[in-house]
Amino acid sequence: MTMHTSSETAALLDGIRTFIEPAHVRVDPDSCLNYGRDWTRLYAPNPLAVVLPGNVEQVRQLVRYANEHRLPLVPSGGRTGLSGAAVACRGELVVSLERLNRILDFDPVDRSVTCQAGVVTEAVQNFAREQGLYYPVDFASRGSSQIGGNIATNAGGIKVVRYGLTRDWVTGLKVITGRGDLLDLNRGLIKNASGYDLRHLFIGSEGTLGIIVEATLKLTRPLHEPSVMVLGVPDLNGIMAIYGLLRGKLELSAFEFFSEMALRHVLKKGLHRPFDTETPYYVLTEFENPDGLQTDEALALFEHCAEQGWLADGVISQSETQAKELWRLREDISESISEHQPYKNDIAVRISRVPALLAEIDGLLAREYPDFEVLWYGHIGDGNLHINILKPASMESAAFAKQCGTVSEHLFAVLQRHGGSISAEHGVGLTKKPYLHYTRDETEIGYLRAIKQVFDPNGIMNPGKIFD
Ligand code: S2G
Ligand code: ZN
């Protein structure tokens, strides 16, 4: 990374101020701290400056200027990422898209909305609801994450079992490539067999190929009166047996799990147990239940699972309010444990491999982490497990991260044998970069580098993220 003298830095920033308003070229410590990091707390933010372009043309000019001066750029959305992809810790220029925050178009025939990258996820969800439609990509950080960042990490969340990932809902994408070219990709078409679909390269690219500035998103009909069931599960094996039964009978929109240890952290924040029975694991599932017509079926399935010994207790929501309260038991986990600086795993295997993987890693983690609190939760219905190891208060962060990193090698070796991914939805960024080879082999990583070379020949786009 080129280090600049203070006079060189001043000249560089003055050059930017010739095409971006000076008020939006910031060097104050607060801006550098807040815009230089994401939700990981493992890296000291250290950006050269923070720039907030006000339109697509300014983004394009900035990328061209950055190429001319070999100035590394870190695109920045809501900075809710958990792998360090939006961290600027090596003198990069942070490019915040927050001023590009307008919903530009809606077409009721296409059932699509076009918005700028800086629109907050929840604003898109609310806009869709106002049109009588639904944007079905949903997760706990919806109130602060931005559409551009969701696309750059191909965000998943809690409805993937029915609606898939962000990738499945992007029908158009405007990007500024690392060369400073504006590409208008797919333009909202459902069908377009005109060669490589470059849109899908940018989805999940974590800012390493260019900057997403605008997206056209498909919308769908709303869920009809979803009901939520929370089930008390005695052991991990029952979870996927329950899933196999329910998914064939109910229109599931979510199938999540969490451990008793995870639940206790949420309960400490004032929420109530779903029922009196305490079990090692819990399942939270949501299914469409218009006019309550599926309730009898759900209760019959519950009885069957109980007879099989797969569950020990359960509750089904009787109102939208209760459904929301039950969801909080799952969705509040991440925030409830953040004070413990958790080491996060976000792994995925094919659904068919979940039981075998659970059996192998349950023993491994108990053996490797005898003294740490290990929390299990996640989107088990799509094969995605979040395993968070809480840092003991007495332990230094660096020593803790080192020890967890060592255990990760064992965990990822098991994962590799099951054909899994070291990162299901949080991306690779900086935290998972050392382990990328467990999921992508050297030949494949060579192709990733070659693609980056095409879109970002001067290596200014989020350098050091995903791979070096
Ligand atoms: C979740 C949120 C981040 C985390 O709760 O599903 O993706 O791992 C996570 O705490
Ligand atoms: Zn998740």
Characterize the bridge pairing of strands 73-76 and 93-96: parallel
Atom of ligand 1 nearest to the CA of 39: 3
453: CA distance to ligand 1 center in Å?
32
Over residues 258-274, the pLDDT tens digits come to: 999 999 999 999 999 99
pLDDT at 342 over 90: yes
Q: Residues 170-188: what's their mean pLDDT?
A: 98
Tokens for 3?
């280090």
pLDDT at 2: 60
pLDDT at 1 over 60: no
Over residues 69-83, the pLDDT tens digits come to: 999 999 999 999 999
Cβ–ligand 1 distance for 82 under 6 Å, the answer yes
Q: Which of 430, 401, 388 is nearest to 84 (CA)?
A: 430
| Phi, psi at 233, each rounded to 5° | -115, 120
160: CA distance to ligand 1 center in Å?
14
Residues present in the chain in total: 468
pLDDT at 45 over 70: yes
Over residues 393-417, the pLDDT tens digits come to: 999 999 999 999 999 999 999 999 9
Mutate which of 40, 335, 426 for ligand 1 pocket (most atoms within 8 A of beta carbon) = 426
Cβ–ligand 1 distance for 199 under 6 Å, the answer no
Cβ–ligand 1 distance for 140 under 6 Å, the answer yes
Atom of ligand 1 nearest to the CA of 379: 6
Q: In this structure, what is the dihedral angle of CA atoms 217, 220, 224, 229, given to the nearest 10 degrees?
A: -50
Q: Residues 440-452: what's their mean pLDDT?
A: 98
Q: Residues 122-144: what's their mean pLDDT?
A: 97
28: CA distance to ligand 2 center in Å?
33
Residue nearest to atom 2 of ligand 1 (CA): 334
Q: Residues 241-251: what's their mean pLDDT?
A: 97
- Cα(317)–Cα(348) distance, integer angstroms: 29
pLDDT at 41 over 90: no
Determine whether 209 is exposed, middle or buried from the number of CB atoms within 10 Å of its CB (0-12, 13-18, 19+). Answer: buried
pLDDT at 369 over 60: yes
334: CA distance to ligand 2 center in Å?
9
Cβ–ligand 1 distance for 334 under 6 Å, the answer yes
Q: For residues 269 and 336, is the Cβ–Cβ distance under 8 A?
A: yes
Residue nearest to atom 9 of ligand 1 (CA): 334
Mutate which of 343, 377, 422 for ligand 1 pocket (most atoms within 8 A of beta carbon) = 377
Query: Residue 110: CB partners within 8 Å, gap ≥ 6?
Result: 188, 218
pLDDT at 295: 97
Over residues 59-108, the pLDDT tens digits come to: 999 999 999 999 999 999 999 999 999 999 999 999 999 999 999 999 99
Q: Residues 16-21: what's their mean pLDDT?
A: 98
Cβ–ligand 1 distance for 74 under 6 Å, the answer no
Atom of ligand 1 nearest to the CA of 386: 8
386: CA distance to ligand 1 center in Å?
7
280: CA distance to ligand 1 center in Å?
20
Atom of ligand 1 nearest to the CA of 141: 2
Average pLDDT score over the chain:
96
Q: How confident is the model at residue 346 (pLDDT cuts 50, 70, 90)?
A: very high
pLDDT at 446: 98
Q: How confident is the model at residue 192 (pLDDT cuts 50, 70, 90)?
A: very high
Cβ–ligand 1 distance for 344 under 6 Å, the answer yes
Cβ–ligand 1 distance for 250 under 6 Å, the answer no
Q: Hey, what domains does the chain have and what are their CATH numbers?
A: 6-99 (3.30.43.10), 103-218 (3.30.465.10), 226-334 (3.30.70.2190), 337-427+435-450 (3.30.70.2740)
pLDDT at 4: 76
Cβ–ligand 1 distance for 159 under 6 Å, the answer no
The DSSP secondary-structure symbol of 146 reads B
Which residue would you say has higher pLDDT here, 304 or 366?
304
Buried-exposed string 305-322: b where 16+ CB fall within 10 A, e elsewhere: beeeebbbbbbbbeeeee
Mutate which of 153, 334, 380 for ligand 1 pocket (most atoms within 8 A of beta carbon) = 334
- Cα(149)–Cα(153) distance, integer angstroms: 6
